Structure 1
Amino acid sequence: MLKPLSAFVLSLMATAASAQDFPVTVEHAFGETTVAEQPARVATVGWANHEVPLALGIVPVGFARASWGDDDGDGLLPWVVEKLEELDAEVPVLFDEGDGIDFEAVASTRPDVILAAYSGISQSDYDTLSRIAPVIAYPEAAWTTTWREMIRQNAAGLGMAEEGDTMVAEIETRIEAARDAHPELAGKTGMFVTHLDPRDLSTIGFYAAADQRVQFLTDLGMDTPQAVREASEAGKYSGRISAERIDLFDDVDVVVTYGDQARLDELTENPLIARFPAVSRGAVVLLANDPMGTAANPTPLSIDYVLDDYLARLSAAATRSE
């Protein structure tokens, strides 16, 4: 695992941030945001943006409650719990985003900056949040920010762009070492199916090439199938294709999806799904509503937490594709 940052290193980071010239300006999909001075109170909305300041030794005053993968119901994922304990910090305010952003709850934390580099905020959301504090939004399109961009974009909003680059480089080194231990994945194609619902098999939903679940498979040495690349629309994180065209996925070696073995067994009895070579061979990685399933959508703190186990599952599926 990546070694936790020492108190001395965290102190150096804080000194570097305070020494950096402010204001800083960050460009994003809604224009640009200027942060006038080093933020003392950081809030985040959307998915996992709080992991960037935490990794940099900054405890946010509030962030979104975890709903997916939270197997003990405390609103925190295990790698976030570990980081808070490492920083000897109490649990901040947790925003309930089940019905969208809780603007009042965000405002109540009195943030100096709001990080939302990986999120689906709309122009209206952005405008409302901007009345509370400067907002760092996603670079291009909703839910298409990569983990690298999440780190760099949010770190820039904190005035810690160099530290963000360092964090990215450290994670890339860890991924490379783990990937090198699994050469059997090289050249294999991986498709991340959004769901396979026995009640509706008229279409196959999949995460598009721009989605970071798919890009994470690429990080791990796999290729994106041609059919997925061709069916992926610019700026979209997911897509659908008629199940009658399932033969387009003949070049898929491994399928990753959410569900359990019972559902997969039921699906393979369907004549259309039976024509999906990877599924019929059992070259499937099944993810549950647990930390592993959550971390397949990689975030700064989760990558190292699940990397070896995820690679082991992909490797086992890849051997069944031969």
Structure 2
Amino acid sequence: MSPLRSHPARRRRLSRFALPLGALLLALPLAGCGSDDSDDDAGSGDAGSFETVSIDHVFGTTEIDERPERVVTWGWGSADAALALGVTPVAMPTNSYGATEEGYMPWQKEAIEASGDEEPTLLTDAEAPPFEEIAAANPDLILANYSGITEADYEKLSKIADTVAYPDQPWATPWRDVITTVGDALGKSEEADTLLEEIDGEVAQAATDHPEFEGKTIAAVAIDPSAFYVYRAADPRVQFLEDLGFTLAPSVGELDTEEDTFFYTISTEEVDKLTSDVLLSYVPNEERLAEIEGDKTFSAMEQFRAGTVANVVGEDIVSSVSPPTALSLTWGLDTFVESLATATQGAR
């Protein structure tokens, strides 16, 4: 999981495992022996023919020759796309930010319960993929198409099962591409297209209902006590805002001097230079919101003075749109749009 996937303060610990990866890889053939109960496995796909799929990504091309029956996801969004397409992963990442006690996002929990499938194994919350745990799930497909895996990680994962990585930059795959890639990999391309049409319809309706968004400039940020994070144009959060009619503020590009893929930081001395009609601020809770609003550092920002800050408050709501997924986008859309509408009223 990205250290900045939902909130910039989220830093992951590398996990430690008792068994070496090789030992579990050697054991995998034994796991496949015995009675064939694949039809009962969570994540089994639809019956019928499956045409070979080739998916290009940053580390090469992955060919999937058979319909996946045991799917493992890593990163953000892939599990949601699979669930939305009727495939419950056998293993998926544990979530902590805005999640249930078990480690599911609320929309994931709802989808799993509705499916009637066995609950997935939740993988250890860590910076690097927990290879042993993934291997133990005996997957035939690993979806990491919105993640931060390295080439070395990819090589290890590919020894476990066919693995799909991100197309170009880590943690920057557009949310629509996450859905279409998962659909292709699962042999559910048409279903993925239909799902996108439904989601796009809801987003388009929200934009229609709020014509005041059209052409307004916006900057999306997360304000931690230790840093001020700004999201770049390539980030799916920004792309979602553009879908609603907003335009990324020119100041976002003008202040960008770092080399991270989807965000950069600015000093408190420069925050007043981040100008925009609306400032979108992702805030974990009301306590942190009060701290931000009471911090004189930000009183120099025109958005705070004008009352055009859209605060998205609450870990679950922040996660639902930061960035959105096949399940979370519509789950948090109304609350998100309401926050933007309130802030935009004061924008010129």
TM-score bracket for the superposition, by shorter chain length? 0.7 to 0.9
2: CA distance, partners of 1:272 / 1:57? 48
Give the counterpart letter for 2:325 in structure 1: T
What is the distance in 1 between the residues matched to 2:246 and 2:344? 10
Deviation at residue 266 of structure 1 after TM alignment: 4.3
Q: Larger deviation: 24-33 or 161-170?
A: 161-170
Match of 2:336 in 1: 310
Task: Find the counterpart in structure 2 of residue 254 from structure 1.
Answer: 279
1:176 aligned partner: 204
Tell me which moved more, 253-262 or 150-159.
253-262
Deviation at 1:115, TM superposition (A): 0.5
Corresponding residue of 1:14:
46
Alpha-carbon shift at residue 305 of structure 1 (Å): 0.9
Assess if the C-alpha contact under 8 Å between 1:46 and 1:118 holds in 2.
yes
SS for the counterpart of 2:51 is coil
The residue matched to 2:234 in structure 1 has which SS?
coil
Cα gap change, 1:262 to 1:42, in 2 (>3 Å)? closer
The 8 Å contact of residues 53 and 155 in structure 1, kept in 2 or not, is answered as: yes
Question: Does the Cα contact within 8 Å between 1:141 and 1:235 map onto a contact in 2?
Answer: no
CA RMSD after TM alignment:
2.2
Kept after mapping to 2: 8 A contact 1:188/1:254: no
State whether structure 2 residue 100 is matched by structure 1 residue 76. Answer: no
CA contact (8 A) 2:50 2:187 kept: yes
- Provide the residue aligned with 2:241 in structure 1: 217
Match of 1:144 in 2: 172
What is aligned with 2:24? none
1:228 and 2:252 are equivalent in the alignment: yes
Counterpart residue identity of residue 50, structure 2 = Q
Correspondent of 1:61 among 65, 68, 90: 90
Shift of 1:217: 1.2
Residue number in structure 2 paired with 1:273: 298
Alpha-carbon displacement from aligned partner over 1:137-179 (angstroms, at most 9, x marks no partner): 1111100011101011122222222322222222111110122
Partners of 1:19 and 1:158 lie apart in 2 by 12
Residue ranges of structure 1 left out of the alignment (5+ in a row): 1-12
**Distance in 1, Cα, partners of 2:108 & 2:294:** 40
Deviation at 1:284, TM superposition (A): 2.2
* Identical positions, percent: 34
Runs of 4+ in 1 over 6 A off after TM superposition: none
Whole-angstrom CA distance in 2 between matches of 1:97 and 1:154: 22
Amino acid at match of 1:39: P
With over 3 angstroms needed to count, the CA separation of the structure-2 counterparts of 1:251 and 1:304, relative to structure 1, is closer
In the alignment, structure 2 segments of 5+ residues that lack a partner are 1-44
Asked if the contact 1:260–1:287 (Cα under 8 Å) also holds between the matched residues in 2, the reply is no
How far apart, CA to CA, are the structure 2 residues paired with 1:82 and 1:266? Answer: 33
Indicate the residue corresponding to 2:8 in structure 1.
none
Match of 1:135 in 2: 163
Q: Is the 8 A contact 2:285 2:315 kept in 1?
A: no
Separation (CA, whole Å) in 2 of partners of 1:110 and 1:190: 45
- Cα gap change, 1:240/1:318 in structure 2, threshold over 3 Å: closer, same or farther? same
Deviation at 1:272, TM superposition (A): 4.4
* Contact map agreement 1:283 1:317 (CA 8 A) in 2: yes
Number of residue pairs matched by the alignment: 302
TM-score scaled by length of structure 1: 0.86
Match of 1:237 in 2: 262
